[in-house]
Amino acid sequence: MKYLILIAGTIFLSSCSTIQNKYDKPIYKDHPIVGAWIYTSNGCNEIYEFTDTGFRMVHANQEVVKAKYEISNVAPESGVYLLKDTVIEDNGMPDCSGSTSDMSGDVVEVLLLIQYLPERFSFCFDKQLNNCVGPYVKQ
């Protein structure tokens, strides 16, 4: 019985280690979105950091958000990508607009328009790329 518990424990721990390693692997290693970006509006900075492992952190005023993101190609030759973002944690503190809403669990899809010289991107809410927020400038 003692050996059965030991074997079950070993299997459980090794499966946990596999899960952990799965999320540590770079999946967006050479994607242009990876890095830190800043957007300033009304004297308030929003800083977005996209990791190559598919996670995003945001610091905006007092708000801190952690999310998991996925990117799909829409028109990469034009710098347009679909971003699906799932908020994991939101501290509910005021963001740059003063909002204190907690977005934990929210899933949002927006278009990313990435431009170069200088490197910047905007979040766009329509296919015509007219209703956008940004630009966020690469740091």
Half-sphere exposure of 69 (CA within 13 A, CB side): 30
pTM of the model: 0.79
Beta bridge partners of 39: 46
CA distance 18 to 129: 40
In angstroms, the CA 16 to CA 65 distance is: 25
The pair phi, psi for residue 86, each rounded to 5°, is -115, 115
Distance CA 32, CA 113 (A): 11
In this predicted model, what pLDDT tens digit does every residue of 51-98 receive, in sequence order? Answer: 999 999 999 999 999 999 999 999 999 999 999 999 999 999 999 999
pLDDT at 104: 95
Residue 116, token pair as written in the block: 């170069």
